[in-house]
Each structure stands twice: as C-alpha cells, then as structure tokens.
Amino acid sequence: MTDNDDEETQSIMRPPNLLKALADASEQATKPQQEALQQLLTGATGATTSATPDLGNLSEQLGTMSQMATFKTRVQSGGRISIPDAEREALDIEDGDIVQTVVVPVKRKRDEDDE
C-alpha cells in the first residue's frame, strides 16, 4: 500500500466524505428499483435498459390477482363445490357466471384402505 492509497482511504473515511459515499451508493442501488416500481405502476411495457428489468404484463397480472379468492370447501355429492357467500359478493359472482377453479386436495376424509 502506498502513502497515496492510505491518504485516499483516510479521505473517504472522514465523516462528510463517508456520508457522501454512502448516499451515492444508496442512490445507485435504489434507482433501478424506483424505475421498476414506476414501470409496474404505470403498466409500461416498452423497451428496457440494463438497469430496468422487463416486467412484461406484471401490472395486468396483479390486477387479475385482485379478482381471486382462496378458500376451503367440501366436495358435495356429484362432485359439486360451493363458493362461500363472502367470496361471491367480493368478486361479484352471480348465478350463471362462469368461473375458473384450481383444486388442491387439503385433507382426505376416507381411509387409506379404500384406494
């Protein structure tokens, strides 16, 4: 290490210089995040830079997710399931509407011997 390197290190470590260095590093780290958030909120899907990731249609997907509900229900005779009143009301689902479901078994009522 040369004397010049030692002086430079001491200069950076002085409180005013250290604070400026930290502020610069923080700004460089948060700028891409701010740009990505701005893109997400505006729904922009244009060209991207190396600092701004391509979010595609993420804002559209988030909008779709706000129209989803997750709940547990029992399978009734004939394979029927019911959508609880609160979910139907929240999602504005009425009789005759077509909905998409994803079924994930949670707990089986039957014995393992029945298989």
Average pLDDT of the segment spanning 91-109? 88
CB neighbours of residue 110 within 10 Å: 7
pLDDT in tens, 8-64: 666 656 667 777 787 787 778 777 877 777 776 666 555 455 555 555 566 566 666
CA 84, CA 69: separation in Å to the nearest integer? Answer: 10
CA 108, CA 115: separation in Å to the nearest integer? Answer: 12
CA 102, CA 100: separation in Å to the nearest integer? Answer: 7
The pTM (predicted TM-score) of the whole model is 0.41
**CA dihedral of residues 87, 93, 96, 99 (deg, nearest 10):** -70
